[in-house]
Chains A and B, each alone.
Chain A
Amino acid sequence: MMKNVIIFSIAKKEVIDNIRNKWIIIISIIFALLALLASYAGSIYSEGWQDLGTTIAIMLSLVQLLVPIIALMLGYAAVIGETERGSMSSLLSLPTTRLEIILGKFFGLGSIISLTILIGFGIAGIIISMNVSDVNYIDYLIFIGATILIGLAFLTLALFLSCLFKKRSTAMGGAIFSWFLFVVLWGLIMSGLLIASGASIEGLLSGSLPDWYYAIQLFNPISVYSSLVSLNVGPVSATQQGFPISYPSFYSSELMLLILIVWIVLFLFLAFWKFSRSDI
């Protein structure tokens, strides 16, 4: 019982601390505006408001760029920032444990990310649904849920980096590199691997990629996220980047969900493991 109170207190402190920063509000507004813009003006197929499914399809690549960097920026200083500033020694002198501190920070920052995504896309969803007739709420909710998961995945990665590095500045470097690796380099590396393996351009265009390609993709949470959305939201698979997608048989929503959850738990554990071995 006591434990829950302590974790809740730490989580609450994180939320108040970050709301004071005001950037959560700004990011919520950016999410809402992006969704509205994507829905109203983003389509090359037709004019005017698009339905939610199409909006998701247009937004997916933008979200893949934005949500990871936001989560990384929110989390990379959570532990090392406090250690460097000096408030960590006071926090740890309280009747609490390092596990509770990591969990408190995860729940606090996780709530911020989740709420930001929920409010931003939620408002946009309501506005869009008032303007279009054919509304598929389920698809949109799956999209929001998956986006929250990818946010949490990058948050726990950021928390791990925050515990791994001994300086705030290097942790930030690590966060930026992670973003670069998963968002930018990954695609290049995968293309390189495909070319090296002798895959033909025709094959790539027709969407028939080898199974090993899809297997490696599972190690990138962003690919997992985009697969999860594609597997569940109709219009996405039809239009994504203009290529038809045919996933291998082992690709399923359950697998994608499981990978994202394992990722979150794994990095949360690694963060705790590193933190419990560090000197404050």
Chain B
Amino acid sequence: MIIAKTIQCPNCKNTLVIKGIPGEKIHVTCPKCGNRGVFVFPDDENDPRIMNDYPIIEVKNLTKRYNGSKAVDNISFKINQGEIFGFLGPNGAGKTTTIKSILGLVNINAGEIKINGFDIKKHAKEAKKFVGYLPEKVAFYNNLTALQNLNFYAEMKNVPRTECKQLIEEFMLSDSLNKKLGKFSKGMTQRLGMARAILGNPSILILDEPSGGLDPRGVVLVRDKIFELKNRGATIFISSHILSEIQAVCDRVGIINKGVLVAEDTVDELSKKLNLKPKITVTLDKISDEIVEAVRKVKGVDKIEIQEKNIEIICDSKTKAKVIVAVATAGGNIINLYTQEPSLEEVFMRYTEA
């Protein structure tokens, strides 16, 4: 939970927006006259000063070129507090470049990026203060042990060291506490990478391909952690090309293709925009012409296909129940029923075509 507060310098009356977590005490230096003061953020979560509805990550007209060719071309989007935002795109579409731009790892050619309202260029430290990051290529210091590595990051994040051991345990790496990272397997490194990302309970989590190199148990572990952090109010940005993973956890998605943001909305909304409809598969003991005719008469049915004992019906979302009733009224004996909502995969394929 981040609080934004406008304060006025008692000396020169200059106003300044400061941000912090509830109960946090910060030292403020007036940028205009250099006057120093201390501000304590209110501890009460219901305090009206706690803003819930402003963008946590704000990307405006971002362009990044590598050797003249545009990796990211004038993209803009916002991620709101408490949201899980899925960032999709084919390989080389510009996902990692966008993430690196957000964190200030690359020098952008144009645009503006704000985390928590802080410009990543001008106020890098404040912007990155509450961020946890899992890079696409997870790497540590190979000469140091797992614990030494996490201790270093804890120190840098000003987080108590006791958290490190606990996280190593949570990610099933207790046996490797004092093992050098050079001897870690890829899956173990990835899990420790996730532990590093969530060290200090960041209110913003940026995950670049979180399931890369993970075994199925690791994937479940990471997914549980993502939900746990979401429940604590964290804002989460996930880049992935595994669509089922995104569909399972994300509130909203952005699709990037060839450096251009081609779509940004909820999966449902995107399906609607593309006119993607659910598919119902009804298995009957016997299919008669009357049944097919009855279904055809239902308003909102787009397409009917018959395969042996199955009728596949593509229709509007609201028509699903009517279709089933029509089948039953026409004397159909339903053995099995299966509906398939439009998948993110279809959405993705349509947006990234050609």
Chain A contact residues (Cβ within 8 angstroms of B): what range?
20 to 34
Evaluate contact between A95 and B105: CB separation under 8 angstroms: no
**A97 — which chain B residues lie within 8 A by C-beta?**
124-125
Quick one: given A9-B152, A17-B144, A20-B143, are A93 and B105 in contact (CB under 8 Å)?
yes
**B128 in complex: contacting residue of A17, A21, A87, A93, CB < 8 Å:** A93
**B141 — which chain A residues lie within 8 A by C-beta?**
13, 17, 87
**B133 in complex: contacting residue of A5, A9, A17, A93, CB < 8 Å:** A93
| Mask of B153-182 contacts with A, CB within 8 angstroms, 1/0 | 101111000000000000000000000000
B107 at the interface (CB under 8 A from A): yes
**A9 in complex: contacting residue of B129, B137, B155, CB < 8 Å:** B155
B103 at the interface (CB under 8 A from A): yes
Which residues of B113-166 have CB atoms within 8 Å of chain A's CB atoms?
124-126, 128-129, 131, 133, 135, 137-144, 148, 152-153, 155-158
Evaluate contact between A86 and B156: CB separation under 8 angstroms: no
Beta-carbon nearest neighbor of B128 in chain A: A95
Quick one: given A89-B105, A279-B105, are A94 and B144 in contact (CB under 8 Å)?
no
A197 at the interface (CB under 8 A from B): no
A133 at the interface (CB under 8 A from B): no
CA distance A17 to B143 in the complex (A): 6
**B144 — which chain A residues lie within 8 A by C-beta?**
13, 16-17, 20
Evaluate contact between A92 and B105: CB separation under 8 angstroms: yes
**A9 — which chain B residues lie within 8 A by C-beta?**
152, 155-156
A280 at the interface (CB under 8 A from B): yes
The count of A-to-B residue pairs whose CB atoms sit within 8 angstroms is 80
Beta-carbon nearest neighbor of B155 in chain A: A9
| Mask of A233-261 contacts with B, CB within 8 angstroms, 1/0 | 00000000000000000000000000000
**A90 in complex: contacting residue of B148, B153, B158, CB < 8 Å:** B153
A96 at the interface (CB under 8 A from B): yes
Which residues of A18-44 have CB atoms within 8 Å of chain B's CB atoms?
20-21
CA distance A9 to B152 in the complex (A): 7
Beta-carbon nearest neighbor of B101 in chain A: A279
**B148 in complex: contacting residue of A16, A95, A279, CB < 8 Å:** A16
**A231 — which chain B residues lie within 8 A by C-beta?**
none
**B206 — which chain A residues lie within 8 A by C-beta?**
93
B106 at the interface (CB under 8 A from A): yes
Known: A13-B141, A94-B156. 12 other contacts (CB 8 A): A2-B125, A9-B155, A13-B144, A87-B140, A89-B105, A89-B137, A93-B103, A93-B128, A95-B124, A279-B66, A279-B107, A280-B105
User: Which residues of A pack against B, CB within 8 Å?
Assistant: 2, 5-6, 9-10, 13, 16-17, 20-21, 85-87, 89-97, 277-280
User: Which residues of B pack against A, CB within 8 Å?
Assistant: 66, 100, 103-107, 124-126, 128-129, 131, 133, 135, 137-144, 148, 152-153, 155-158, 193, 196, 206
* CB-based closest 6 A-B pairs: A86-B139, A93-B133, A279-B106, A20-B143, A86-B137, A280-B105
